[in-house]
Amino acid sequence: MIQSDPTPLPVLTTCCNSSLNDVRALLVQVDKFLHAQGTPAEWVEDMNIILAEVLSNIARHGYSDMSGRIDLEIRLGMNELRCRVSDKGRPFDPKLIGHRAPEPTRLREGGYGWFLIRSLARALTYHRVKDTNCLTFWVPVGHKLPIAALAD
């Protein structure tokens, strides 16, 4: 008989308001949670970059002229961090953005967010059900491709 490990994997389920200050506070909470679990530094760094981009995009674009709630769930696995972010802001289509890095000679300040997210996350999916946006992805350990290779 095969017995499974009775220890449940750690999960962080939390939320914040869509203000940039609340997003920053949520990012600090995530960072503390991941460090408290002994999460490898590579995972923490990647998750911090991805979530900073995702959550700030929701606050700036999804809720640009209103406020709302952003829900977050992070599940630690043996070889990955799984993440789900949901909100009731404006819908968008991530298929249309962030496949290539912006042209550096244009000296753009922004526009790198979705490129970074796509470079670091795996199984990135977005869907909208009724009035709710849902973005899911996972972050692997030790399987990162160099960002330059993804730009080709």
pLDDT tens digit sequence for 7-48:
678 999 999 999 999 999 999 999 999 999 888 888 899 899
- Compute the distance between CA of residue 152 and CA of residue 147 in angstroms, rounded to an integer: 9
> pTM above the 0.85 mark?
no
What does 98-135 look like in DSSP terms, one character per residue?
-SS---GGG--SS--HHHHHHHH-EEEEEEEETTEEEE
pLDDT digits (tens, 9 = 90+) for 93-112: 766 665 555 565 554 555 66
DSSP state of 63: T
Give all domains of the chain, ordered by start, each with its CATH number: 11-150 (3.30.565.10)
